[in-house]
Amino acid sequence: MNNFFERRYVIAGIFIALILVLLGRLFYIQVVDDRYFLYAQNNVMRRNIQYPARGPILDRYGKIMVENEPVYDITVVPKQVKAFDTVEFCKLLGIDREGFDKRMAKARVYSPYRTSIFEKQVSAQQYASFQERLSEFPGFDTQKRSLRSYPDSAASQFLGYIGEVTDAIIKRSGGYYSPGDYVGISGVEKSYESILRGQRGVRNLIYDSHNTPKGSYANGAYDTAAVAGERLISSLDMKIQKLGEKLMQNKVGGIVAIEPSTGEILCYVSSPTYNPNLLVGRERGNNAAKLYKDPYKPFFTRPVQAYYPPGSSFKPLSALIAMQEGVITPQTIYHCSGYYQSGNRRIKCFHGEVHGDVNLASAVAHSCNGYFDMVFEKLINRQGARNTDTAFNYWRNNVAKFGLGSKLGLDMPNENRGNLPKAAYYDKVYGKGGWRSSTVISLGIGQGELLATPLQLANIEATIANHGYYYKPHLIKAIGDKQVIRKEYTLRNYVGVDSQYFEPVINGMQNVVEYGTASSSKIPGIIMCGKTGTAEVKNKNDNSVFVAFAPRDNPKIAIAVVVENSGQGATWAAPIASFIVEQYLRGSISKRPSGIFPEYYINKNLLPEIVVKPADKAKIKADSLKKVTADSLRKRKADSVKQIGLKSAQNKPAKNAGNVLTAMLPKRKENE
C-alpha cells in the first residue's frame, strides 16, 4: 500500500515537472523570444517605415541652400527569402553574386526576422524595374527616402553632411535609429538633427502568401503619418558666402562676417572647402576617403577650429582696456624710434619703421608696436615690476570679457576656445616670480601664446562696432514658421568698457583705411573702420589678418579675414574683406582708386607647399607598392579571361603609382 502511494507521488511529480517545463517554454516563446511572433506577423503584416522629408535649410533671404531628392532602398527579411532567380535579381540591381552573398550575410547578422536594408540608394530606373518584378523575389521589398542636394555647392563646413548611423549612434539614441538610417554627422545637420529629421511614420500592410500587398491592416487604423522636419532659416547671405569662397580658393584660412546688431553670421568661409554634393549618393564613401587624405584638410572648419595669433588686430582691444583702467588717455603721447626697449629685450616696429610722436589714434592707424608694448607694460606693472601675477590675471580677465579664451556658444559642433594664457602657465614655465612684463611683452601686440579663432576676431569687431557689447554669434536665425530663436542669442553681453572710450579707438581704425596700413582697400563712399595684422608664425611665413566693420555709423557688418602664410594683412586679407563688405552693403563692387579688383585675388594661388616627412614618404612608398601589387593581380585575372598581354597589364599600375600624393594637390605655376 505504501509503495502505491509512493509511486503515485512520483508520477504526479513527473507530470507537474513536465507541465512546468511546457509552461516555461510557452512563456519564453510568447513573451521572452519574439522570433516566432515576428516571423508569423511578417508572413501576414509588415510595418513599412515612412521616412519624412528632412527639413530644408535656407539663407537669410529665402534662397534654398539644402533640399531633398527622393531615393529608394531595397529591403529584405532574410527568413522570408525563398528560392528565386538570383542571376536576374543581381542583374536588376547591378551587383554580382559575391556582393549579393555579403549583403545577405549582413542582413542575417542584424536579424533573420526583421527588415533591414539590402541595397541603398538605387536609381529611379532600377527601382521601377525592380518594383515591377517584386513578386518574383519573396522576402524583398522597397522603401522610399530622401537624400540631401545642394543647389549652390557652397557653405559646406556650415551645412555639414548626413551619413549612415553607426552602432554607437544607435545606442545613444535609445533605439530611435536603426541600421541604414541617416543622421547629421557635422555642421548644422548635426547641431539641429532633432529638428531637421522630423518624425517617422508607420504603414501596416497585409501581404498574401505570394508576397503581394493586399492593402492596409485594419483599414489604416494603426498607421501613423510621417511629419516632415522643420525648415531652418540661416543667417548666411549666399551672395557674399559664394564671393568669399571664390576669393579664398587656392588659399588656406577663414572668413567670418557678423551683423553687429543681432549677432547673426553673414559669411562663414573655411578654405580649402569642398563640394557638399560629393558626400551624397553611392560614391559618398570613396569621395570622403579622398577628402580625408587631402593634406589641406577640407573637413577642418577653420572659422571655429583653427587657432591664429591675432597680431596687430589685437591692438584696439588693448587700447580699450588701458583707457578703462586709466593707464592711458587718447592724448597719451609715445615717441617711437623704431623699436621698444623692454628690460633687455628690444622689440622692433614692422620693418623698423620710425613713427615719431604718436597718440592713440595715430598708433592704431600706423600699427606702432612700440606704443602698444608701452600700453601693455603699464597694465602689467601697475603693482610693481616684480608683482606681475595679480596684474596679469586682471588683464587676462578683461580680455576674456571680449570672448577670447572661451567658446562663444555658436550653434555649431566642435567650436574651439582659442588660447588666453594664465599667470599659472608662466609660473610653470619660468617658475614663480621668474617672469616679468618683458617676458610676455609680445602679448601686447597679439603675439606670443595668444591665439584666437576667426569667429572670435569677428566678434571683437562687432563689440567695438556696438561700443561695448555683443550678441552671441549664431548661424540659424529662425526655426519653422514660428520664427523661433534661442533666447541666449537675444541677450547683450557687455565687456566692461565704457562707451566713451570707443570713439578714440574707432577714429584710429577709420584712419587705418583712410590713409594708414589698409589705405589701398578703401571703399569709395563707405567709411570702413579696420585694423591690419601681420601675425608671425614660427618657421613659416606670416599670416595675413584683417578685421573691420562698416559703415562707421550704424554698422551693418563686422568681419575678420585670415589668409595663412601669405604675408602682410594689407596685401591679402584687407582687400578680400573690403570686397565682401562692399558686396554686402551695395550689392556690387566698384572700381577702386588703388586699382585692386576681385579677379586678381580669386585667381591667385597662395597654397603652401606640402612638406612630406621621411616617415610619410616611407608610408607613401609602401602604399604605392601595395597598390601596384593589387592592381597587378586584378590585371592578371582580367588577362586570363580577356587574353590581354601581361606586359601592358603591368605597365599601367606603375604609371598610376607615382600619382599617390600629387593627384590631390593643385598645380602651381613656377612663379607662385
Judge if 309 and 280 occupy the same domain.
Answer: yes
On whether residue 262 sits in a domain, the answer given is: no
DSSP H or E run through 639: helix 614-642
- Provide the pLDDT for residue 654: 38
On whether residue 264 sits in a domain, the answer given is: no
Residue with cell 522636419: 229
Handedness of CA 346, 456, 391, 431 (dihedral sign): negative
Distance between CA 204 and CA 218 in Å, rounded?
9
Asked whether residue 580 carries a pLDDT value surpassing 60, the answer given is yes
Residue with cell 503581394: 212
Question: Based on the number of CB atoms within 10 Å of its own CB, is 226 exposed (0-12), middle (13-18) or buried (19 or more)?
Answer: middle
**Average pLDDT in the 579-602 region?**
96
Asked whether residue 588 carries a pLDDT value surpassing 80, the answer given is yes
- In 3D, which of 52, 357, 366, 358 has the Cα closest to residue 227? 52
**Average pLDDT in the 211-238 region?**
82
Question: Based on the number of CB atoms within 10 Å of its own CB, is 555 exposed (0-12), middle (13-18) or buried (19 or more)?
Answer: buried
**Average pLDDT in the 472-489 region?**
88
On whether residue 119 sits in a domain, the answer given is: yes
> What does each C-alpha distance from 653 to 215, 293, 665 come to in angstroms?
56, 20, 20
* pTM assigned to the model: 0.81
- In 3D, which of 152, 148, 178, 150 has the Cα closest to residue 166? 178
pLDDT band of residue 226 (cuts 50, 70, 90) is confident
DSSP H or E run through 341: strand 339-342
Instruction: State which of 580, 603, 626 marks the end of a domain.
Output: 603
Task: Say how many C-beta atoms besides its own lie within 10 A of residue 581's C-beta.
Answer: 27
- Provide the pLDDT for residue 272: 96
Q: Are 528 and 559 in contact (CB under 8 A)?
A: no
* Full domain range(s) for residue 15: 2-33
Asked whether residue 323 carries a pLDDT value surpassing 80, the answer given is yes
pLDDT band of residue 2 (cuts 50, 70, 90) is low
Q: What is the CA radius of gyration of the chain?
A: 33
Task: Give SS3 for 338.
Answer: coil
- Provide the pLDDT for residue 604: 96
Judge if 461 and 511 occupy the same domain.
Answer: yes
Asked whether residue 96 carries a pLDDT value surpassing 70, the answer given is yes
Judge if 556 and 659 occupy the same domain.
Answer: no
Asked whether residue 182 carries a pLDDT value surpassing 50, the answer given is yes
What crossing angle do the helices spanning 315-324 and 369-380 adopt, rounded to 10°? Answer: 40
Task: Say how many C-beta atoms besides its own lie within 10 A of residue 539's C-beta.
Answer: 4
High-pLDDT (> 70) share of the chain, %: 85
237 CA to centre of own chain: 18
Find all residues with CB under 8 Å of 618, minimum gap 6, and list them: none
- Provide the pLDDT for residue 213: 64
- Provide the pLDDT for residue 408: 97
Asked whether residue 668 carries a pLDDT value surpassing 60, the answer given is no
**Average pLDDT in the 354-383 region?**
93
> What does each C-alpha distance from 410 to 26, 403, 416 come to in angstroms?
56, 12, 10
Distance between CA 392 and CA 383 in Å, rounded?
10
In Å, the largest CA–CA distance within the chain is: 129
Find all residues with CB under 8 Å of 539, minimum gap 6, and list them: none
Asked whether residue 483 carries a pLDDT value surpassing 80, the answer given is no
- Provide the pLDDT for residue 614: 66
Judge if 91 and 157 occupy the same domain.
Answer: yes
How many residues are present in the chain?
A: 672
Q: Which of 71-75, 336-340, 458-462, 629-633 has the highest mean pLDDT?
A: 458-462
Q: What is the dihedral of CA 81, 87, 88, 89, to 10 degrees?
A: 40
**Average pLDDT in the 584-602 region?**
95
Task: Give SS3 for 534.
Answer: strand
| CATH number of the domain enclosing 127 | 3.90.1310.10
Q: 3-class secondary structure for 283-307? A: CHHHHHHHHHHCCCCCCCCHHHHCC
High-pLDDT (> 90) share of the chain, %: 57
Q: What is the pLDDT of residues 513-571, one digit of tens each?
A: 999 999 999 999 999 999 999 999 988 899 999 999 999 999 999 999 999 999 999 99
Q: What is the pLDDT of residues 4-37, one digit of tens each?
A: 556 677 777 787 888 888 887 777 766 666 555 5
Distance between CA 260 and CA 472 in Å, rounded?
10
On whether residue 6 sits in a domain, the answer given is: yes
Instruction: State which of 210, 234, 258 marks the end of a domain.
Output: 234
Distance between CA 316 and CA 371 in Å, rounded?
12
Task: Give SS3 for 390.
Answer: helix
Judge if 368 and 420 occupy the same domain.
Answer: yes
Q: State the average pLDDT for the chain.
A: 86
Question: Based on the number of CB atoms within 10 Å of its own CB, is 164 exposed (0-12), middle (13-18) or buried (19 or more)?
Answer: middle
Q: Are 275 and 294 in contact (CB under 8 A)?
A: no
On whether residue 240 sits in a domain, the answer given is: no
> What does each C-alpha distance from 522 to 513, 526, 576, 578 come to in angstroms?
6, 8, 12, 7
**Average pLDDT in the 210-215 region?**
63
On whether residue 596 sits in a domain, the answer given is: yes
- In 3D, which of 515, 513, 524 has the Cα closest to residue 574? 513
Window from 79-88, 155-164, 256-265 with minimum mean pLDDT: 79-88
Residue with cell 614655465: 429
User: Residue type for 457, please?
Assistant: L
pLDDT band of residue 112 (cuts 50, 70, 90) is confident
| 272 prior amide bond cis, ω within 30 | yes
Judge if 297 and 412 occupy the same domain.
Answer: yes
In the chain, the N- to C-terminal Cα span, in Å, equals 113
On whether residue 427 sits in a domain, the answer given is: yes
Domain count of the fold of the chain: 4
Judge if 652 and 575 occupy the same domain.
Answer: no
Residue with cell 607598392: 625
Find all residues with CB under 8 Å of 430, minimum gap 6, and list them: 439
Distance between CA 235 and CA 582 in Å, rounded?
18
Judge if 573 and 650 occupy the same domain.
Answer: no
Judge if 458 and 349 occupy the same domain.
Answer: yes
DSSP for 342-389 reads ETTEEEEPGGG---EEE-HHHHHHHT-HHHHHHHHHHHHTTT-TT-HH
**Average pLDDT in the 184-212 region?**
83
Distance between CA 451 and CA 492 in Å, rounded?
24
On whether residue 331 sits in a domain, the answer given is: yes
Distance between CA 508 and CA 524 in Å, rounded?
19
| CATH number of the domain enclosing 312 | 3.40.710.10
Distance between CA 380 and CA 391 in Å, rounded?
5
383 CA to centre of own chain: 44
Judge if 443 and 518 occupy the same domain.
Answer: yes
Q: What is the pLDDT of residues 597-654, one digit of tens each?
A: 999 999 999 998 877 666 666 665 565 555 555 555 455 444 444 443 433 333 333 3
**Average pLDDT in the 238-262 region?**
97
At 203, phi and psi to the nearest 5?
-125, 120
Judge if 184 and 309 occupy the same domain.
Answer: no
In sequence order, what are the beta bridge partners of 348?
Answer: 339
Judge if 407 and 528 occupy the same domain.
Answer: yes
- Provide the pLDDT for residue 499: 95
